[in-house]
Amino acid sequence: MKFQHKALLVGGIAGALLGLAAAFLYVKANEGRIAAVQAGEADSVGQISPREALSVGLTIVGLVRQIVGLGQGA
């Protein structure tokens, strides 16, 4: 198997696992709100503000840039 294929496979699996972990932690952090919505006591779980979404997005871009920099020797 070529190096490129291995890197894509490992990266894809790692990304999927990281996404699942993030979703799991998000649900765990909001269990009370989710239960209230399911019981009909609230209309929605809550919304993520554009500022929060932008902050997370910029953090992910920074992380990807650091990962890309790993392969470039000094």
**Helices 3-29 and 31-38: crossing angle, nearest 10°?**
70
d(CA 51, CA 4): 36
Alpha carbon distances (Å) from 51 to 25, 34, 36, 58, 67: 20, 23, 25, 11, 25
Mean pLDDT of the chain: 89
Q: In this predicted model, what pLDDT tens digit does every residue of 32-57 receive, in sequence order?
A: 888 888 888 877 777 889 999 999 99
Q: Which of 25, 3, 23 is nearest to 15 (CA)?
A: 23
